[in-house]
Structure 1
Amino acid sequence: MKALIALEDGTVLIGRSFTGAGEAVGEIVFNTSMSGYQEVLTDPSYTGQLVTMTYPLIGNYGVNDEDMESASVHPRAFLMREYQDVPSNFRATGTLAEFLKKFGVLGVDGFDTRMLTRIIRNHGAMKAIISTEDLDEASLVQRAKDWPGLVGRDMVARVTTKAPYNWVNNAPVAGAGFDTGFAEDTAKYKVVAYDFGVKYNQLRILKEKGCAVHVVPATTSAEDVLALNPDGIFLSNGPGDPAGVDGVVENIRKLLGKKPIFGICLGHQILGLAYGASTYKLKFGHRGGNQPVKDLLTGKVEITSQNHGFCVDQDNLPDKVEMTHVNLNDGSLEGMRHTEFPAFSVQYHPEHAPGPHDAIYLFDRFLELMA
């Protein structure tokens, strides 16, 4: 089925929908990972986006229940050069097309993804629309321009949990402690995790490290968090513009110095705003599993998994906040810590899923702060 991909700059590409009729509007971005497409699709940080995979063949190992990073699919469309409908992997329980159809996400292939990636790299991430229904190019370009975009919008409200839960046996569990605290009082550490769009592997690793994890909505007050008397506070990843997330920064600011804090991705950006720093939109963001980052504290270089379109501005970090990690591709800030309070964060994804495991040590740093 013919599908048109129209960008706000007037570019129109012709592809093929392998999931049937539909339309999707959002910010079009690219991801450079060679594998891990199911983890990409179930990462809430992609809410409001149209994701293009630069690796040319996608779908060859199917999908399964174990590689879910949330309970749903978050991009509005998934684009690739060539879709493979016959998976060959012993773990596969279904095809990528079936998976996308289940969640109502448009899948498109059969066009030059290299050209699209080059356009985004040269001109930046853009508003775009994909349609099998409206095939008028001028109409689609105008509709792409009319979409409000992600800047200044609260996308976290779309993905955060509606009520607190505990992470038990690798799954969210209501049950004991649903609204009153931790289900596992015998755990070595008790961590309250703010859900800005959390990936399951962050919770899995915290649990594996000996933590009881109580997940709370993004709007939970500092007072309610402190009433749970946690050993540490975790700030998860999430979608969109950190400056557009309503009512969260002030709560995090109230927690500074009260408990150890560890932030990842959007959690890192929100922590930066709580410090008094500012954020800005990157030209085309960092998305993929091959971003080199230098740890300035140790001098070591790690290859990291990343997915973000905004960044903390290193040029106006407040006093008592120091840069700890730098991106070796573009020099942007990838990590920071407070020199007075027990708080640190990174822009990338140490929990991988997908991607390298080089940065898993950061969870141990969090445990050391709680010890």
Structure 2
Amino acid sequence: MEGSLILANGEKFTGQWQGKPKDHIGELIYFTGMARFQEFITDPANKGKIVIATFPGVLNSNLDHSKFESDQIQIGGLITQQDASMPIDVKGINVLDLFFEQNIPVLTGMDTRALIKRVKKEGEMPAIISSKHAVNRLSAHMEDIYADSGTEHITLNGNKHIVIINFGYKKSLIQSLCQSGHKVTAVSGRIDISSVHSLKPDGIIFSGGPGNPLEWQKFFPDYKKLAMKYPTMGLGLGHQILALAFGANIEKMPAGHRNFKEAVIHTGSQKVFMSNQNHGYTVNEKDLKQHGFLVTFKNIHDGTVEGLVHEQYLVVTYQFHPEQIHNPLNELIFDHFFKTVNESKGASVYA
């Protein structure tokens, strides 16, 4: 049967509906990757988003649960040019079967080129994916995408205790921390600061996650207090939240950085790295110095801020994320942070 994608600007696109009838409202974004589709659709930063896949063979992606960034699909809907009536050649789990099992709508046979032109021109916007060709539904509320998890003791033994402020952490972050031999505990972003102190952390990581960082504004004073007391690292959304907590500003990007090979340059060494990014907001570089920050990484393509270090406190932040594979950027991020954690009782260490 047919289904529709209705944009906030009123435009309507029709394709072949795959799955049970339902409606879903979410932010419309696009993914340009030709691979690593499974990591992208299970990334908590994509919770509720409607994703346009630019690669026409995306339904032929092989799926491996060990590569998932969370236990389930996080996106709210998928738009693809691929014709689902054609044979889909995959090993193991069929992508469409996984979407069917989790009741995530898919529209196939879509004009993805036209859709991406709209997003690039008008910016990422709300949209509704509907099996009923519904109109005038964008006034409805989007699903709550903000994490409210409790305390989770992930690894009980280790040399140092790392506490994650959890806005929607990725499994690859946990994997990296566990491999480093650290004790790891995750707590909700809706923190009780005294409870965090009682955990006696040696270091704190503000994780990535979905949505607008200003949604966490009432907690900024507590976030700042924690970052002033403990060696702290922010990743993705956590990078934006920490910048805001110290007084910096953010901007909504017309079309975010959403791929696994985004080029960034380290301002100190002038070395270029390929990074894993998935975000629609960026930290405004203006007045960062006034708030104590120096820029450590910039985006090669548009010059946006990709990394910060605080001049007074042991705080480093990165717009990009560690990956499940070892690479020089992973080593740079974690080697610096773990060195800071280990030496925080003595001299300060900066990137």
Offset, 1:247: 3.3
Q: 2:30 aligned with 1:43, yes or no?
A: no
Give the conservation status (yes or no) of the 8 Å contact 1:311–1:333: yes
Percentage of pairs with the same residue? 27
Q: 2:328 aligned with 1:334, yes or no?
A: no
The one-letter amino acid of 1:241's match is N
Instruction: Give the equivalent residue in structure 2 for 1:176.
Output: none
Instruction: Give the equivalent residue in structure 1 for 2:294.
Output: 322
Give the conservation status (yes or no) of the 8 Å contact 1:293–1:302: yes
C-alpha separation in 2, matches of 1:328 and 1:148? 36
Instruction: Give the equivalent residue in structure 2 for 1:143.
Output: 137
What do residues 223-267 of structure 1 show as CA deviations (whole Å, max 9, x unaligned)?
A: 221221111001100111001125332221111231100110110
Give the conservation status (yes or no) of the 8 Å contact 2:153–2:185: yes
Instruction: Give the equivalent residue in structure 2 for 1:34.
Output: 34
Aligned residue runs from structure 1 range 194-209, under 5 A:
194-209=165-180
Offset, 1:290: 2.3
Instruction: Give the equivalent residue in structure 1 for 2:63.
Output: 63
C-alpha separation in 1, matches of 2:67 and 2:170? 11
Q: 2:164 aligned with 1:164, yes or no?
A: no
Offset, 1:323: 1.0
Instruction: Give the equivalent residue in structure 1 for 2:319.
Output: 347
Q: TM-score, normalised by structure 2?
A: 0.90
C-alpha separation in 1, matches of 2:118 and 2:160? 47
Instruction: Give the equivalent residue in structure 2 for 1:359.
Output: 329
C-alpha separation in 1, matches of 2:67 and 2:19? 21
Give the conservation status (yes or no) of the 8 Å contact 1:19–1:106: yes
Offset, 1:148: 5.4
What do residues 16-41 of structure 1 show as CA deviations (whole Å, max 9, x unaligned)?
A: 12224222111100011111222111
Q: 2:130 aligned with 1:131, yes or no?
A: yes
Q: What residue ranges of structure 2 are gaps of 5+ in the alignment? A: 343-351
Offset, 1:309: 0.9
118-127 vs 70-79, which deviates more?
70-79
Instruction: Give the equivalent residue in structure 1 for 2:270.
Output: 299
The one-letter amino acid of 1:334's match is E
Offset, 1:286: 1.1
Instruction: Give the equivalent residue in structure 2 for 1:275.
Output: 246
Q: What residue ranges of structure 1 are gaps of 5+ in the alignment? A: 169-182
Instruction: Give the equivalent residue in structure 2 for 1:52.
Output: 52
CA 1:323–1:6 in 2, change beyond 3 Å: closer, same or farther?
same
C-alpha separation in 1, matches of 2:22 and 2:266? 44
C-alpha separation in 1, matches of 2:114 and 2:291? 44
Q: TM-score, normalised by structure 1?
A: 0.86
CA 1:251–1:319 in 2, change beyond 3 Å: closer, same or farther?
closer
Offset, 1:294: 0.8
Instruction: Give the equivalent residue in structure 1 for 2:24.
Output: 24
Give the conservation status (yes or no) of the 8 Å contact 1:43–1:199: yes
C-alpha separation in 2, matches of 1:284 and 1:46? 14
Give the conservation status (yes or no) of the 8 Å contact 1:264–1:348: yes
Q: 2:271 aligned with 1:310, yes or no?
A: no
Offset, 1:166: 2.0
Give the conservation status (yes or no) of the 8 Å contact 1:26–1:147: no
The one-letter amino acid of 2:266's match is D
Give the conservation status (yes or no) of the 8 Å contact 2:38–2:67: yes
Say which SS state the counterpart of residue 60 (structure 2) adopts.
Answer: coil
Offset, 1:149: 6.7
Instruction: Give the equivalent residue in structure 2 for 1:290.
Output: 261
C-alpha separation in 2, matches of 1:359 and 1:248? 30
Offset, 1:358: 4.6
Give the conservation status (yes or no) of the 8 Å contact 1:303–1:356: no
Give the conservation status (yes or no) of the 8 Å contact 1:305–1:356: no
Offset, 1:283: 0.9
C-alpha separation in 2, matches of 1:316 and 1:71? 40
78-87 vs 200-209, which deviates more?
78-87
Instruction: Give the equivalent residue in structure 1 for 2:206.
Output: 235
What do residues 88-143 of structure 1 show as CA deviations (whole Å, max 9, x unaligned)?
A: 33xx3x2111211222211121112122112111110111111112x2xxx52x32
C-alpha separation in 2, matches of 1:364 and 1:46? 28
